[in-house]
Structure formats: structure tokens, C-alpha cells
Amino acid sequence: MDVRPADDAAIATAAQRLARGGLVALPTETVYGLAADATNGRAVAAIFEMKGRPHFNPLIVHLPDVAAAQRHGQLDHRALTLANAFWPGPLTMVVKRRAESPLCDLVSAGLDTVALRVPAHPVARALLAACALPLAAPSANPSGYLSPTTAAHVAEGFGEADLLVLDGGPCTVGLESTVVDLSSHSVAGLLRAGGVSAEAIAACIGAVIPADAGAAIRAPGMLPSHYAPHHPVRLDVTTVRPDEAVLGFGANMPPGGAISRNLSPSGDLREAAANLFAMLHELDQPGITAIAVVPIPGGGLGPAIRDRLARAATGH
């Protein structure tokens, strides 16, 4: 494990590592990603190995711009409209893969579709420019555990691994990207709620249907046990036991508990999203019996935050 501030020298070293088939943990505006050259099947396999994933989920391919995305996937008018509105940013689009794309098969788990994203974080963009490779990157955490929003979280998760971590500070969005399925001509499907709200997407391209049972199979990252801390999570609490850790929101901060955090004292859902994983990490301490979470309101990023909390709660 080699954690370095993401300066020009570290980014150049990271680009060389990626070109040789190595792995690099990089900051994005959503969460830290565990990146490899998406055209190199062995390098992509090393991602699954390091994460200890029980099966090969398709991974998101990160690119510098729309033109690069079009070399790998077929972006229809809806995809181009969304790219124009939300790229660079926390939106991933699943589209038909181009036959001539050099991406390895493993990155899309053998599917004829591919998930593409143009990230906004300056370090991610600098690394994409320096290595000139499409980068496969799932969240940089051991499979099934909380997503990392700081370099320290990545280091905790992968203690002794042979990994260069570019430290670009805490992630500003703090939730994974929204995943939208545009791979068929039927209405767009929301495969994962995330950093861009479903309302904002619908405002651009009309109706978006929520993830259904079929979509859950198509998006294996939606497994209920994703994002689980070590301790049980209790949702929608109104009272707290003395041996529990408390996660509050706005004015709703129940007294008691061994340790507590407030996702956003002012009740701002964006601030709450940015704090969610970091605070779950902080509360997931030895000695507590559970993490007790107050109700999170709907609207905007509320559904995405509640989705992550529900998964954290069912992971035990």
C-alpha cells in the first residue's frame, strides 16, 4: 500500500502502473475507485481478486469525454442529451457496446452492453489524460463493505495490497453515480439511484422507470447486501439505546448512544450524501451493538441515501 498526495509526479507514476497492468485507487467526485486498464483482461481480473468479489459484476468504464465514450458504446440521442447535461459528473449510462471497442470482455461481464462514465474530479481527469486508457473502476472497497470516500478508507480496506492510492481529499458527492440503462429503445431504466436525481434525468429525457426485479439481475451491484458495515444497522429510529451509535439528520438527533454523528445539521441532503459513507465508517466502531439511523426525508438525493442505508441494514 502506497498512499500519495495526488500531485503531478504521483499521477505520472500512477499512469505508468496502469499501462503495465497494475491497479491504482483514484478519487472521483462520487467515491474512490479501484482502477485498471479496461482493455487488459488480466488487469481487470486483478480488480475482482483484490475486492474479493464473489462473482464478476460488470464494471463502469471511465473516460475523459463524450468522444471517447462513443468509441466504446452507441450513444443515442437520449444518451447524448444526458451526456451534455451531466458529464463530466456522477452519471453512468449503460449502452450497447460497439463491436470494434477494444474493451476486454470481463469489464462488461460478457454482456453486449457497457457502462460508461465521464468523471468530474480533477485528479480522475488528470489520470485519464496522463494514461490515455479507458479505466475500469468499481468502488475501492472489499466486496460487500462500505464504499470509500477518503484515501484513508481505501487504505483501511486493502491493508497490505500492492496498490498505489492517489489521495485527492474527501469525495464531494459521497454516493456512487446514478446508473441509467439506455441500452434498449424502450423507456430508460434507473438501475441505481445515485449522485444525479431521477427527477433531474426525467427532466432531460422524459420518463425513467425505476429498477425492477429484472434490472436487479442486470445490475448485480444492486445485491441487497452491498454497503454493509460490520455492525447491524437499525433504520427509522426514534429512540436510541446507550450501546448504539447514532446517525442523525437535521434537527432529528435523538439523545443517548455511545457515539453520534449528524449527516447534515442544517438538513441539506447533498451534505448528507457527501457525509454518509464517512460517518458510517466512523460509527462502525468495536464495542457498539448497532448503528441507529433516524428517518431520511424524500426528494432529491433522499431516495439514493435511503437505498444505501436499506442495503447496509439488510447486509446481516
- Which residues lie near ligand TXA (CB under 6 A)? 28, 30-31, 33, 57-60, 92, 94, 108, 111, 113-115, 117, 137-139, 176-177, 179, 191-192, 218-222
| Residue of 204, 70, 49, 184 whose CA lies nearest to 134 | 70
Burial group, residue 12, by CB count within 10 angstroms (0-12, 13-18, 19+): middle
Bridge-based pairing of strands 91-96 and 178-181 is parallel
Q: Beta-carbon neighbour count of residue 306 at 10 Å? A: 18
Cβ proximity to Mg ion, 155 vs 237, nearer residue:
155
28 binds, among ligand TXA, Mg ion, none (CB under 5 to 8 A by kind): ligand TXA
Q: Which does 14 bind (CB under 5 to 8 A by kind): ligand TXA, Mg ion, none?
A: none
Measured from the CB of residue 171, what is the shortest distance to ligand TXA in angstroms? 9
> 179 touches which of ligand TXA, Mg ion, none (CB within 5 to 8 A by kind)?
ligand TXA
When the beta carbons of 122 and 265 are compared against ligand TXA, the nearer one is 122
Nearer to Mg ion, 139 or 264 (CB): 139
Report the residue number, 176 or 244, with the smaller CB distance to ligand TXA: 176
With DSSP H G I counted as helix, E B as strand and the rest as coil, what are the percentages for the chain, rounded to 5? 35, 20, 45
CB of residue 206 vs ligand TXA: minimum separation in angstroms?
21
Q: What is the C-alpha to C-alpha distance for residues 294 and 316, in angstroms, rounded to an integer?
A: 19
Nearer to Mg ion, 178 or 262 (CB): 178
CB 17 → Mg ion: shortest distance, Å?
A: 22
**Least distance to Mg ion, CB of residue 108, Å:** 16
On whether the CB atoms of residues 294 and 236 are closer than 8 A, the answer is yes
3-state SS class at 251:
coil
User: Which positions from 107 through 166 interact with Mg ion, judged by CB under 5 A?
Assistant: 139
Measured from the CB of residue 138, what is the shortest distance to Mg ion in angstroms?
5
Q: How far is the CB of 29 from Mg ion (least distance, A)?
A: 15
* 57 φ/ψ angles, rounded to the nearest 5 degrees: -70, 150
> Which of ligand TXA, Mg ion, none does residue 177 bind to, with CB < 5 to 8 Å depending on kind?
ligand TXA
The C-alpha torsion from 198 through 204 and 206 to 209, rounded to 10°, is: -30
151 binds, among Mg ion, ligand TXA, none (CB under 5 to 8 A by kind): none
Please report which residue ranges of the chain form alpha helices under DSSP H.
8-19, 41-51, 66-72, 77-86, 122-131, 151-157, 198-205, 213-218, 269-283, 302-314
User: Nearest 5°: phi and psi at 62?
Assistant: -100, 135
List of residues contacting Mg ion (CB under 5 A): 139
